[in-house]
């Protein structure tokens, strides 16, 4: 699958990305980073058993960190939860050399808690975890900005906007991500859909104006920039928005309108 995506991943490469010889193991953050380097999206679950089993039900294996030490000595070990039997309260782990190790749920939880109930699913771009809240999606994807290919981020923001269709911020993020990925048509459609819902939306007005100004100094682009400036004028908005709106307005004023479009 990675090979098909044009990513070279050999076992040696991966070991070199995560193993720390002096620690004789790998840190959680580096596993997360390695999945991003492979072009996949890492999702930390909320640490509940319900979230974990929801992923299993969706066919997503879950990487967990367990303390398998004894007598109070910590020994950390990664395992993959590959199945659950809710009737018998048993989880199925791929752990060490055990391909299918059934573990009672309460024993599993006892080994899972010392590491903060750490649980990771790794999904292809454009797929969301089965059970994830909106804020976690935002945090995961904003953290991954610059660390995942723009196309991967765009596909995943788009999935988030589709799951929470009433959430204007996600729609905005999806449109921005589409633009960053070079899909200008999708970005433009996204901003326009936001404006259809809310004609005074400052974010959509400004970014659509900025997008259109890239391709031409049209009357529409200048009108949008003016509307964004008007929307920002009467409101208490963050400084970063205000300066972006001012920059857009300045661009719109400085550009040369096409002949016959004054």
Partner 1 sequence: MHLQRSLAAVTLAAFLTAGIQAPAAAAAIATRDAVAPSATAGGERADQLARVRAALDRDDVRAALVARGVDPGAAAGRVAALSDQQLADLATQLDELPAGGSALAVVGIVFLVLLILEVTGVIDIFKKI
Site for partner 1 in 124-143 (CB under 8 A): 124, 138-139, 142-143
Q: Are 138 and 173 in contact (CB under 8 A)?
A: yes
Instruction: Give me the residue label for tokens 């950390």.
Output: 76
CB of 65 or CB of 105, closer to partner 1: 65
Q: Please identify, using beta-carbon distances, which residue of 6 and 238 lies nearer to partner 1.
A: 238
Nearer to partner 1, 24 or 262 (CB): 24
Minimum gap (Å) between residue 260 Cβ and partner 1: 26
Show the tokens assigned to 54. Answer: 């929801």
In angstroms, rounded to a whole number, what is the distance separating the alpha carbons of residues 160 and 168? 11
Give, for 122, the enclosing helix (H) or strand (E): strand 119-123
Rounded to whole angstroms, the Cα distance separating 124 from 133 reads: 18
Q: Which stretch binds partner 1 (CB under 8 A): 10-18, 45-53, 104-112, 216-224?
A: 10-18
Contact between 201 and partner 1 by CB under 8 A: the answer reads no
Q: In this structure, what token pair is assigned to residue 164?
A: 């929470």
Does position 11 interact with partner 1 (CB under 8 A)? The reply is yes
Q: What is the distance, to the nearest Å, from the Cα of residue 259 to the centroid of all Cα atoms in its chain?
A: 43
Nearest Cα neighbor of 107 from 123, 121, 95, 97 is: 95
Q: Which is nearer to partner 1, 82 or 230 (CB)?
A: 82
Give the footprint of partner 1 on residues 31-90 (CB under 8 A). Answer: 31-38, 40, 61, 63, 65-66, 74-80, 82-83
Query: At closest approach, how far in Å is the CB of 234 from partner 1?
Result: 17
């Amino acid at each position: 699958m990675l090979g098909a995506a044009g990513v070279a991943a050999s076992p040696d490469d991966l070991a070199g990305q995560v193993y720390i010889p002096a620690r004789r193991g790998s840190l959680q953050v580096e596993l997360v980073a390695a999945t991003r380097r492979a072009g996949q999206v890492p999702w930390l679950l909320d640490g509940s058993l319900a979230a974990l089993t929801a992923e299993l039900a969706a066919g997503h294996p879950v990487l967990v960190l367990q303390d398998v030490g004894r007598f109070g000595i910590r020994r950390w070990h990664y395992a993959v939860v590959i199945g659950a039997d809710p009737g018998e309260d048993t989880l199925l782990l791929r752990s060490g050399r055990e391909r299918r190790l059934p573990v009672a749920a309460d024993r599993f939880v006892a080994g899972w808690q010392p590491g903060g109930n750490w649980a990771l699913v790794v999904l292809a771009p454009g797929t969301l975890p089965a059970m994830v809240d909106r804020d976690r999606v935002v945090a995961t994807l904003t953290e991954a900005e610059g660390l995942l290919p723009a196309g991967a981020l765009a596909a995943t923001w788009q999935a988030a906007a589709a799951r929470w269709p009433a959430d204007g911020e996600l729609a905005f993020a999806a449109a921005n991500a589409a633009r960053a990925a070079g899909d200008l048509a999708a970005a433009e459609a996204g901003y326009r859909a936001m404006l259809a819902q809310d004609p005074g939306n400052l974010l959509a007005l400004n970014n659509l104006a900025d997008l259109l100004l890239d391709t031409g100094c049209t009357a529409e682009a200048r009108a949008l920039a003016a509307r964004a400036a008007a929307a920002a004028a009467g409101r208490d908005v963050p400084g970063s928005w205000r300066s972006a709106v001012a920059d857009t307005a300045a661009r719109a004023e400085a550009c040369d309108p096409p002949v016959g479009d004054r």
